[in-house]
Amino acid sequence: MNIPVQAPFPALPGQDSPLVSCLMVTNDRLGLAKRAIRCYQQQRYQNRELVIVCQGNEGYRDELRRHIEASAVPDARVIAASPRLRLGALRNVSLDAARGELVCVWDDDDCSHPDRLLRQVRHLLRAGAQASFLSAHLQFFEPEGSLHWIDWRNSRNKPRYPLLPTTMIMRRDPRFRYPESGRYAHFGEDWQLMLDLHRDAEVVTPDDMGLLYLYTYHGGNTFSREHHLRMTEHSLPSSQIRARADEIRQALDHYPIPRPVTVHGADGEVFTVD
């Protein structure tokens, strides 16, 4: 499926658009990395850069650079990282390499809608907050082709922090870094940073942006399938999925994922997108 790159979006009204550094950490997952790079390339927000911290071997770094050059990806660079570094330290390498006023997590195995940066950055700037996380998102289970719309606020057991940590966009600030030691140095490093932000700064979670981010389970994730399945407890009811079927279909047109996709609500399958 070839999706044309949309025209750049102009500066935000009344101010210059700040540079957004999209930060990707990757290790020998070329197919997934190419998909994430494609999502970056399709962003309508113009003033951006892609910082790829690569823990893979030299051959993998060369493959990434060749792909970036062949695809004419704007302002992308690949940075080598030691294979001994844990995930928190790797994410800090990307923070240190960022040039932008804003930094955005750009995980190599998830997808972003072309309007994601535009809408989330606009909301963050208008709120004057330190950071933004999405309180809703799509969740795709690639092995079986099933999709859920997760809304962390729309459930009986709403968590204390109803958001997905990997959707973070924040103002770059030396106070806020990922843990490099201790319990969350490799698993949950983004959760710890989210907690630090909530403790020491203003955080916003914009409503009704659930179609802008596709969180993927593919079998090689950091967290287990059981972890991802637990998230489906926060799926929207089937009635709401059915009412927004056209919006979901339109959003899926932008996501380079295998078809068919079976869309589920909290109480079962609702429809299929071929």
Strand order in the sheet with 136-141: 111-112, 213-217, 136-141, 146-151, 261-265, 268-273
List pLDDT tens digits, range 150-161: 999 977 778 899
pLDDT value for 12: 54
Residue range 85-90: mean pLDDT, rounded: 96
Report residue 104's pLDDT band, with 50, 70 and 90 as the boundaries.
very high
Q: Above 60 in pLDDT, residue 46?
A: yes
Q: What tokens does 207 get?
A: 């409503």
Residue range 56-81: mean pLDDT, rounded: 94
Q: Lowest-pLDDT range, 8-17, 194-203, 255-264?
A: 8-17
pLDDT value for 228: 82
For residues 109 and 262, give the distance between their C-alpha atoms in angstroms, rounded to a whole number.
Answer: 20
Instruction: Work out the angle between the directed axes of helices 87-97 and 189-200 (0-180°, nearest 10).
Output: 60
pLDDT value for 154: 79
Q: Which amino acid is at 18?
A: P
Q: Above 80 in pLDDT, residue 274?
A: yes
Q: Which homologous superfamily does the CATH classification assign to the domain defined by 20-273?
A: Spore Coat Polysaccharide Biosynthesis Protein SpsA; Chain A (3.90.550.10)
pLDDT value for 9: 39
For residues 102 and 48, give the distance between their C-alpha atoms in angstroms, rounded to a whole number.
Answer: 9
List pLDDT tens digits, range 182-214: 999 988 999 999 999 999 999 999 989 999 999
- Is the CB of residue 149 less than 8 Å from the CB of residue 210? yes
Q: What is the mean pLDDT of the chain?
A: 92
Report residue 3's pLDDT band, with 50, 70 and 90 as the boundaries.
very low
Residue range 108-136: mean pLDDT, rounded: 97
Residue range 253-274: mean pLDDT, rounded: 97
Q: Above 70 in pLDDT, residue 148?
A: yes
- pTM here is 0.92
List pLDDT tens digits, range 227-252: 788 899 999 999 999 999 999 999 99
Residue 10 exposure: Cα atoms within 13 Å on the Cβ side: 3
Report residue 11's pLDDT band, with 50, 70 and 90 as the boundaries.
very low
pLDDT value for 74: 80
Q: Above 60 in pLDDT, residue 21?
A: yes
Report residue 6's pLDDT band, with 50, 70 and 90 as the boundaries.
very low
For the stretch 57-61, contacts whose Cβ atoms lie closer than 8 Å and that sit 24 or more positions apart, written own/partner, are 57/28, 60/27, 60/28, 60/30
